[in-house]
Structure 1
Amino acid sequence: MFIRNESFYSFRKQYPVITILVAIHLILFVWMNFLPFGDLILAYGIGFNLDVANGEYWRLVTPIFMHIGMGHVLFNSFSLVIFGPALEQMLGRFKFILTYLLTGIAANVATFWVGGLMYGPHLGASGAIFGLFGLYVYIVLFRKELIDQANAQLVLTIIALGLVMTFLGTNINIFAHLFGLIAGAALGPIILTGVRPYSAYRQRVYDEGEVAFDPTRWQKRQNMRKRLKPVIWSILILLVVIGLASRLF
């Protein structure tokens, strides 16, 4: 469920929404840091409560896609690539992007109302990503048929680590993380209506030259999973270290 075996070609074909979101993250990051007029994009897109109070309501949306630090953009993009595909498949493209945007906006609205007018500038996809985590929390608690026990324990562990990082890290928008998580869980009863469990083989896209049928594929996949397990854990640990070491907005 959270192990990525796809090539780039098959990943972007199976999960186009996540591919586009990550592309937007990286394009805006490069633009804001290295290309002309990047400072204007940052100035007009960053979340700032006083500007929102003065009518610049787009700032409740634009921060979801913006990152200024390398660790920040990598942490959020990797998190989306690892934990997003299962939800994009189960929900479908429309429900997935709707959930992502609604929870991200809810996180920024909560930052506006709870943080006060002079709350410092903020940006990043963390609120929306915690919204996806909130949806997983609802699945683990109330829709157990959609996730197996091993993956449920894994995602709850990651969520717990994310909450610890929220309170231990510096320059982190605590309101966005907490209310994004709450918004995701609150959407669960509605957004999960009629969904089926994740399947690694549903609508699989085969790379060019790949054999579509192999009588020994199940044994090969089992061996591959055993080899990949320590790699996946290494990636997760790396993400945690990046998140703890980075100064996030």
Structure 2
Amino acid sequence: MFVRNEDFRSFIRYYPIITILIGIHILLFLLINVFGMRSIFNMGAGINGLIEAGDYWRLVTPIFLHAGFAHVLFNSFSLYLFGPALEQMLGKSKFIVGYFGAGILANIGTLYLQDSYFSHVGASGAIFGLFGIYFYMAFYRKELIDQANSQLILMILGIGLVMTFISPNINILGHLFGFLAGAALAPILLIGAKPFVNRGMIRVRRSPENGDIRFKPNRWQRRKVRTGPGSGGKILWGIFIALVALGFLARFL
């Protein structure tokens, strides 16, 4: 569910919304920090006083902006890992509603509970909204997520909350409101949702006789791919360690 098997082209085809979001993150970061277009950052940052004065677009635009390389790397990597499954399970429209709904509600909470001088950028509120959807799923829609992935989500959420409170320059309220917003939206968004299908594990072959495409259900058994508890645990711990490392990088850079 959270292990990416797709090649670059397949990832773009299967998860276009995630691809576009990550592309926007990187493009805006390059425009601002490499090409010196600082006006983009100034026009889009979530500055409470300016929102109160009527710049309501600043409830949305901070979701696309990031303060530094480690910041954009951490959020884009998190979106790359945890976004695809929800994009497939919810569908494009519901995923967009969940992602931006959580991000905007996180920014609204920040607006009302922080002072007028407070400013913020980053997709973290929206990403915590995805964690909120997974959190709801792990407890109330268990048919959609297996135990191993439920444990991973709870573990990542735990470390994310710890990092939220111990790291400097973090919009704590944005993270918390994003998570709560995602969990609140989940019951509606998950109506009609189906378990994730890892398309990267599906392979087809072309028959030499007539060129027809045939599915080979035993292909992975013949290749003896290890999918037992031991290998799965190593993969989950690898993801966990990578995210923790990126979290500390984002803290000190």
Normalising by structure 1, we get a TM-score of 0.90
Question: Does 1:63 pair with 2:62?
Answer: yes
Alignment-derived partner of residue 123 in structure 1: 121
Please, which runs of 5 or more residues in structure 2 have no aligned partner?
207-212
Relative distance call for 1:203 and 1:174 in structure 2 (3 A) is: same
Matches within 5 A, 1:159-238: 159-201=157-199, 213=216, 215-220=218-223, 222-223=225-226, 230=234, 233-238=237-242
Alpha-carbon distance, 1:233 to partner: 3.1
| Secondary structure of 2:125 counterpart | helix
Relative distance call for 1:192 and 1:246 in structure 2 (3 A) is: same
Alpha-carbon distance, 1:245 to partner: 3.2
| Secondary structure of 2:223 counterpart | helix
The residue type paired with residue 106 of structure 2 is A
| Secondary structure of 2:226 counterpart | helix
| Secondary structure of 2:192 counterpart | coil
Instruction: Give the distance between the partners of 1:234 and 1:64, measured in 2 at CA.
Output: 27
Q: CA RMSD in A?
A: 2.6
Provide Cα deviations, 1:36-61, integer angstroms capped at 9, x if missing partner. 4x210011001100000000000000
Identity %: 49
Instruction: Give the distance between the partners of 1:189 and 1:159, measured in 2 at CA.
Output: 19
Alpha-carbon distance, 1:207 to partner: 11
Please, which runs of 5 or more residues in structure 1 have no aligned partner?
none
Provide Cα deviations, 1:180-219, integer angstroms capped at 9, x if missing partner. 00000000111111111112149968799x9853743235
Residues 46 and 62 of structure 2 are in contact (CA less than 8 Å); yes or no, is this contact kept in structure 1? yes
Instruction: Give the distance between the partners of 1:182 and 1:161, measured in 2 at CA.
Output: 17
Alpha-carbon distance, 1:238 to partner: 2.4
Q: Which among 242, 245, 249 is matched to residue 245 of structure 1?
A: 249
Alignment-derived partner of residue 23 in structure 2: 23
Relative distance call for 1:215 and 1:142 in structure 2 (3 A) is: closer
Instruction: Give the distance between the partners of 1:180 and 1:219, measured in 2 at CA.
Output: 44
Specify the structure having the higher radius of gyration (Cα).
2
Alpha-carbon distance, 1:221 to partner: 6.6
Instruction: Give the distance between the partners of 1:229 and 1:5, measured in 2 at CA.
Output: 17
Instruction: Give the distance between the partners of 2:87 and 2:127, measured in 1 at CA.
Output: 13
Instruction: Give the distance between the partners of 1:221 and 1:198, measured in 2 at CA.
Output: 22
Aligned length: 246
Alpha-carbon distance, 1:68 to partner: 2.5
Alignment-derived partner of residue 35 in structure 1: 35
Instruction: Give the distance between the partners of 2:139 and 2:107, measured in 1 at CA.
Output: 26
